[in-house]
Amino acid sequence: MRRAILFVLVLAPAMAFAQDHRWELTPTVGFRWGGTVLLEAETNVITTGLHRVDLANGGDFGLRLGFLMTKSLGLELMYSKEFTEFKDKQGLFGEEPGSTTPPGATGTLNTDVETWQLGLTWHLLQGKTRPYLVFAGGQTTIQSETPLPKETAITFALGAGVKIEMSSTLGLLFELRYNRSDTDTDNTVVVEWEHIDCPETCRYTYGYDDTFSQTSFAAGLIIAF
């Protein structure tokens, strides 16, 4: 009898844990806003000086794999990619024909922002509707068709969202997340070209500030198993 009681006492926590944890696969769509880079024009008579150039709001697509460890805490691996472009009407990236861009070229300002993160999710309430907070860290890669150099930076994120359960295997996710990347100010590239606005050779230096920050909104379909 004592052995049976001991067996139940040892097995019960494991059974409770097995009932709590599950996997969640969530494809997402959404959009991001924010993100600024630095550009210094040294010899252009119109745009001489330091410029901060912003990214346009862009569509964001991603995939998440989550593991619910307890009823409240979970781990999440997240990947997302934004397709956007720089907001520039001054030809700061040499996109005018005769600069660094051949005539007829398209997509000269296109830029991708790719993010991987591993996070801890904390579900505040239980039930069909579960609001949560997420704390995450990972890396962000910025790659552009412009002369801007490729940058891969450590990223930290803080977000809040809600999961709505539709059945035992399907649900909806809505989330707002702030991402902050520590970019390298020494990661620069110098580009020169001839242009009518430059009394001498145009000389531009492209690079990053010490941080690159974005906010994202995502909606997803949760597939639980």
Domain harbouring 220, CATH code: 2.40.160.20
Reported pTM? 0.84
Q: For residue 8, is it within any domain?
A: no
Is residue 107 within 8 A of residue 95, CB to CB? The reply is no
Q: In which domain, by residue range, is 127 found?
A: 21-224
pLDDT of 90 reads 73
Nearest one of 131, 133, 135 to 163, comparing CA atoms: 131
Residue 172 lies in a domain: yes
In a structure prediction context, what are the per-residue pLDDT tens digits for the chain, which is 225 residues long? 454 444 444 444 443 444 468 999 999 999 999 999 998 887 655 667 888 999 999 999 999 999 999 999 999 999 999 999 999 877 777 766 556 666 556 678 999 999 999 999 999 999 999 999 999 999 999 999 988 999 999 999 999 999 999 999 999 999 999 999 999 999 999 988 777 777 778 888 999 999 999 999 999 999 999
Work out the end-to-end distance of the chain between its first and last CA atoms, rounded to an integer number of angstroms. Answer: 37
Residue 180, beta-bridge partner list? 156, 213
Whether 92 maps to a domain, the answer reads yes
pLDDT of residue 14: 41
What pLDDT, on a 0 to 100 scale, did the predictor assign at position 96? 66
Number of domains, the chain? 1
- Does 1 fall in a domain? no
Q: What is the pLDDT of residue 24?
A: 97
The pLDDT of residue 101:
67
Token readout for 19 is: 């009932």
Instruction: Examine residue 85 and state whether it is found in any structural domain, yes or no.
Output: yes
Per-residue confidence (pLDDT) for residue 15, from 0 to 100: 39
Query: Which residues partner with 112 through β-bridges?
Result: 83, 143
Please indicate, yes or no, if residue 75 is contained in any of the structural domains: yes
At 46 the pLDDT is 60
Residue 2 lies in a domain: no
